[in-house]
Amino acid sequence: MEGRTTPLSQEIAIVTGGSRGIGFAIARRLGEMGARVTLCARSADSVEAAAAALRASGIRASGAVADVGSAESVRRFVARVRETAGEASILINNAGVGAFHAAHDMEEAEWDRVLDTNLKGAWLMSREVAPQMIRQKRGHIIHIASLAGKNTFAGGGAYCASKWGLRGLAGCMAEDLRGHGIRVSVICPGTVHTEFSPHAGKDPAKMLHPEDVAHVVALLVTQAAASFVSEVDLRPTQKP
């Protein structure tokens, strides 16, 4: 960490869906700022490889398997973080999946997979971590939503519903927790160039990149203590 500013050196951060894409970029940025970071993902190999890559850069990082849609899996994961690193003061709810079909053509299992990961997962993880932050009388919970949480499109029924719901959850949690010194924010990126969403035919140079989202997270977790930004819309400067 030599040569880097470390304003988050006292912070314990959790990043869900942290093994690649936006989650990995956020974990790297928080780690570079001094936070001790724990990633979770469903694949043991991918999450440990991501954590190892961060450690190779001098970041205090570890990884663990967790299914954010399972209350028991979330409980075990957060307990492990507390035992190995300490009580979390930053939570990034980034884990997400997509399924893009007409709502009337979707199977129930596919609908449940999207809503359980994108919305229920954020609630379960927040519910598990919030008591730790309340004890500390401080903390940041940041939900990674999408501009799809404000705009509709054909085939986006499940995905848009999950992201609209995530924005609603974030707003209500902000009111529930602000009296405890906990700031809850939601980031709504537009098109981001990742493996999850490659957007064939669009120019990657004109798209958002994971590091752009990570930059917003860095701004949010270094706000002055007397205020918080509740929602950020993030768009590329040029339409891809």
Return the active site residues: 159
Scanning the structure block, which residue is given the tokens 């053509």? 105
3-state secondary structure of 211: helix
CB-CB contact of 114 with 158 (8 Å): yes
The dihedral region occupied by 181, where left means phi > 0, alpha psi between -120 and 50, and beta the remainder, is left
Distance CA(53)–CA(3), nearest Å, equals: 19
Distance CA(28)–CA(8), nearest Å, equals: 12
Q: What tokens appear for 128 in the block?
A: 């598990």
Q: What's the CA dihedral at 164, 69, 198, 53 to 10 degrees? A: 130
Sequence-distant (6+) residues with CB within 8 A of 97 are: 113, 114, 117, 118
